Amino acid sequence: MYYLGIDVGGMSIKGALVDKEGVIHYRANIKTEAEKTSEEILQDIKDLCLSLVSEGGIKINALRGIGIGIPGSIDAEEGVIVYSNNINFENVKIVEYLKKTFDCPIKIGNDANVAALGEMKYGSGKGSKNLILVTLGTGVGTGIIVESKILLGKYGAGGEGGHMTLVYNGLPCTCGKKGCWERYASATALIRITEEYSNKYPDSEVAKIIKKEGKISGKTAFIAARNGDKTGAKIVSKYVKYVAEGLISLVNIFRPDCILIGGGVSNEGSYLMKKIERRVSRYSYGGSRNYKVPVKKAELQNDAGMLGAAALCIDN
């Protein structure tokens, strides 16, 4: 029994042929051509699925399901992409379209949610029924699993933890509100904070690295901090506080089995995770009287989307 897991992203569409245990037997990806119409992109996805089957060396009737993760508002029940702001998708009946070619269950989900499911089934969340995957990237994405199921909310509009208010009347967010967590805890925010401090402390190692490399990245402050630079340490500390503060809110609401951190910033590994975990544990409601939520690096990273998408169809 085989499954396809498709991860539709703004840059590429990744696909994998997966078995029930989450082992990837074959993988392929294509470029996302954002200028294409939704019909053309649907055809690209269909072609990718067909090639995964043929190149993966299985017969099409060995296929037990196709799962697809897509950024944006997804109506999983109806199989419709309600809206996706990176790709030309608005009210696209993707499941109905693929059903014409494939005679197996086809399920869709929001990419962040689906990645959380992947981590729960095959990654750092294995064994947990309740977890939150927080992806620190351009924004802050949250995939929330309650009792082994994705928390969807009405018409799939839930799970937007990045848009909790962290700073009342704070920085304006693209969502129209002010002070959203993602304005402070995303990789974008980390770069902004790094820039502010490097301007303020032009003799710091942070400033020197930026001058030398000609650019600022989410790694800059961490490199400097690990080298003993005070400014780097200050930036990391400020950023950790912002990340942890939003996590504490989520812990107080959900008290999940664990929190997983994904996205480029999570490559800072246990150096970052331990700092975050310490703060979360200290300031969560009830302190040491309550369950201490472990904060771990998401393991599957770029494969989480494909594996989670496939998982939409496994055991369903």
Contacts with a second copy, residue ranges (CB under 8 A): 73, 82-83, 130, 142, 144, 146-147, 149, 151-155, 157-161, 163-168, 170, 175-177, 179, 184, 242, 245-246, 248-250, 252-257, 283, 285-287, 289-291, 293
Q: Which is nearer to a second copy, 63 or 259 (CB)?
A: 259
Extract the tokens encoding 18: 């997966």
Cβ neighbourhood burial of 83 (10 Å; 0-12, 13-18, 19+): middle
Rounded to a whole number of angstroms, the minimum distance from the CB of residue 299 to a second copy is 21
287, exposed or middle or buried, with CB in 10 Å at 0-12, 13-18, 19+? exposed
CB 260 within 8 A of CB 125: yes
The first and second tokens of residue 125, run together, are 């969340």
- Judged by beta carbon, residue 45 or residue 81, the one nearer a second copy is 81
Nearest distance in Å: CB 239, a second copy: 13
Q: Which is nearer to a second copy, 75 or 229 (CB)?
A: 75
Phi and psi at 300, nearest 5°, equal -75, -25
Q: How far is the CB of 41 from a second copy (least distance, A)?
A: 21
| Residue whose CB is less far from a second copy, 165 or 301 | 165
CB of 300 to a second copy, least distance (A): 23
In whole angstroms, what is the distance from residue 10 CA to residue 8 CA? 7
Give me the DSSP letters along 182-227: HHHHSHHHHHHHHHHHHHH-TTSHHHHHHHHHTS--TTHHHHHHHT
Q: Which is nearer to a second copy, 57 or 153 (CB)?
A: 153
Closer of 119 and 205 to a second copy (Cβ): 119
Cα dihedral across residues 29, 120, 150, 280: positive or negative: negative
Task: Name the β-bridge partners of 110.
Answer: 70
Provide the minimum distance between the beta carbon of 119 and a second copy in the complex, in angstroms, as a whole number.
Answer: 17
Quote the least distance from Cβ 29 to a second copy, whole Å.
29
Q: How far is the CB of 168 from a second copy (least distance, A)?
A: 4
Nearer to a second copy, 63 or 164 (CB): 164
Contact between 5 and 308 under an 8 Å Cβ cutoff? The reply is yes
d(CA 11, CA 190): 22
